[in-house]
Structure 1
C-alpha cells in the first residue's frame, strides 16, 4: 500500500491518511478510527478539516437516516458537478451554486430547495470549523414555491372500509395486516411510527386504551384507541400471546415467508408500505395509494365534520397547522362544485 509522504493533521489533531490512487480515507485520533468511506475528491483534496466535517456532519450531526441520506446525495451531486468544472472546494462561489441550480430545469422546485438547504448547512459547518472562510451558499436564493395542497392521493372512506373487509383473518399475518391498516386509519399515524410500536406502547390506563407513538424528531404522543380499533388490536394480540412476551417486544412483526406465521422481528416502514400495496391489489383497489393516503383521508374526514384544526393537527402530529392544511382535500371539492355550477 502506497501512501503520501506527508501526514495531514488538522487543527483538532485528527490525522488524515490517504492512498495515492484512491479517495478512500481513514480519519483517526490517537489510533482510534472514526470513519472509513469513499469521499468526494474535492473533500479529499481540500483543507484537512473538510474530511473531519464530512464525518461530523453526516455521521454525527444528522440523526434522522432519511435526512442524512437525502443531504448526502445532494452534497455529493453538487461536489461531483463542481469537480467537473475543475474548481477547488475553496473556490466555489455563490454564482457557481446559482448556475448549478439554473441548469437543473427538469428537477422539481421542492427537490432543489432541499438540495440548497443541504449545501447551506454543510458549508456552514465547514465555515464554523475554519475549513472555508465564507459560506458560498448562504446568499443563494432558491425558487419560490408554495404548496396549497399535498400531492399524496386520498383514499375514500368506502375504499378504506372495503380494504379492511377484504383482509382474511384466518392466519396471524391477516390479523396483523388488518390491525396495521386500522391503526393507520384511526390514528392518522405515519407508517414509520406504526412500525416502531412496542408492546408497551399499547397502554391501558384503567379507563381506555391508547397507543404511544414516537414521531419525527423524537416527539412522543399518545392517541386514544377507538372501540373498533381496540377490538381489532386485542384480537391480534390474543393470537400473538402478548401477555407472555417482554413489553419491549415489537407490536407488529415480520411474517415467515408464505406460512402466514409471524417472527419475533420488528416490521420496518418499507414492509408496511409493501404490505399496503399488496392488500390494495388483492382488494382490486388503486395501487397508487399508499399508507400516507390514510392520513390524508382521516384529516379531510375530521375537518369535513367541523373538528377544530388544532385537534386534527395534534392527531396528525404536525408542529405547524399549515402542514395539516396540506392534507385537507376539501379544496378539490369546492373547486369541482364551483365549476359544475357553470350554466353555459
Structure 2
C-alpha cells in the first residue's frame, strides 16, 4: 500500500473505530498531507524510508514556510500517532521521530469572563422567538462546561432534569455524567415546554428539527455579547473556560474539574491553576499594603 493509502486507512480507522470527530480527522489529514508532499519531493516511497534527519529537515522546512510553533507541535503529534500505528501493525520497524523535538510553545492562558460578566451574558434576554432557546444554551454552557460539539449532540434522553444531570458524549466516544445547575434546569424546562421533549429529538434544533448548526450558536453568542456591551470576543469555548476557572477558584479541586471537563490528561486541566493564581495575585495586589504599587 502507498503512503497515501496508509494515511487514508488510518484516518478511516480513527473515524470508525475510535469515533474521532470530523474536525479531528480533518486536522490529521491536513498535517499528514504536508508529510506526503515532502516525501514526494524527496522521492521517498515508504514511511520506512524516513529517519530522524529527514524529519528534522521536514519540520525545519515547514518552520521556514511560516508554520507557527504550536502548529509544528501538532504536526509532529499527527506524524507520531501515524508512525505508532504503523509500528503496531508491523509496517514500520523504527521511529523516525526518535529524538526529534519541535520548537517550544508559549502556552497562552485562555481568556475567561468574571462572575458578573458571565451572569450578564447568560441572563441576557435576546427577545423574540429565540429567547428561550438562547437562554437554555447559555445556561447549560456555563452550568456544565460543555464543548460546543457536546451541546449540539445532546438529545432530550441525555438529560435528567429531575436529578439535575446530563449524559455527554465527549472526545473519543467517551461518555461522562455532568451536573446541571438549577438555573440551567429551569431554562431547559422552559425550552422543553415550548418545543416539546421527544426523547430522540435534539435539545437544540435548527431548521427542519435537525440539530442546530454549530456556527449558528457561535453567531448567536457573539450577537448577545454585543447587545450586553461585553468587551471580549465571546464564543462557546469561552464559557467552558469560564466554568472551569470559576469551579477551580471556588473548590480548589483540580481532579474534580478534570472529570467535569472530560480531560483525559490532568495536565490539560492544570492551565486553570495558572488562571486561579492570576486571580489570587490580583487580590493580593489590591489587599496587601506592601504589594500596592504607587501611581
TM-score (norm 1): 0.72
Q: CA 1:239–1:81 in 2, change beyond 3 Å: closer, same or farther?
A: same
Q: Tell me if the contact between 1:201 and 1:211 (Cα under 8 Å) persists in the aligned partners.
A: yes
**2:229 aligns to what?**
284
Q: Hey, what does 1:42 align to over in structure 2? A: none
Residue 318 (structure 1) aligned with residue 277 (structure 2): no
2:182 counterpart of 1:220? no
User: What's the offset of the Cα at 1:300?
Assistant: 1.9
Could you tell me which runs of 5 or more consecutive residues in structure 1 were left unpaired when the two chains were aligned. 1-47, 257-262
**Which residue among 15, 23, 46 is the counterpart of 1:66?**
23
More strand by share: 1
- Ranges in structure 2 where 5+ consecutive residues have no aligned partner: none
Deviation (angstroms), 1:335:
4.6
- Give how far 1:137 is off: 2.9
Deviations 1:186-231 (A, max 9, x none): 11111111111101011155xx332111111222222232222221
**Aligned pairs, number:** 282
Across the aligned residues of Structure 1 and Structure 2, the Cα RMSD in angstroms comes to: 2.7
Deviation sequence 1:23-76 (CA, Å, 0-9, x none): xxxxxxxxxxxxxxxxxxxxxxxxx35354233111123431222111111111
Structure number, greater radius of gyration:
1
Task: Tell me which of the two structures has the higher relative contact order, counting C-alpha pairs closer than 8 angstroms and 6 or more residues apart.
Answer: 2
* SS of equivalent to 1:211: strand
**Structure 2 CA distance for aligned equivalents of residues 277 and 268 of structure 1:** 15
Cross-structure match for 2:212: 267
* Residues in 2 aligned to 1:303 and 1:102: alpha-carbon distance in whole angstroms: 39
Q: Is 1:295 matched up with 2:240?
A: yes
Aligned to 2:116: 158
CA 277–287 in structure 1, closer or farther in 2 if over 3 Å, else same: farther
CA distance in 2, matches of 1:168, 1:145: 40
What residue number does 2:96 align with? Answer: 136
Alpha-carbon contact 1:153-1:289 (below 8 Å) kept:
no
Which residue of 20, 34, 40 maps to 1:77?
34
Moved over 6 A (4+): none
Distance 2:87 2:269 in 1: 36
Pair 1:203–1:306, CA change in 2 (3 A): closer
Partners of 1:179 and 1:203 lie apart in 2 by 15
What does 1:103-114 correspond to in 2, within 5 Å? Answer: 103=61, 104=63, 106-114=66-74
Of Structure 1 and Structure 2, the greater helix share is in 2
Partner of 1:37: none
In 1: Cα distance, 2:264 partner to 2:4 partner: 35
Structure 1 residues 222 and 133, CA gap change in structure 2 (3 angstroms): closer
2:145 alignment partner, one of 184, 188, 197: 188
2:80 to 97, 110, 120: 120
Are 2:234 and 1:234 aligned? no
8 Å CA contact 1:214, 1:220 repeated in 2: yes
Q: Distance in 2 between matches of 1:141 and 1:223?
A: 37
Contact 2:2 2:45 in 1 (8 A): no
Distance (Å, rounded) in 2 between the aligned partners of 1:74 and 1:277 = 30
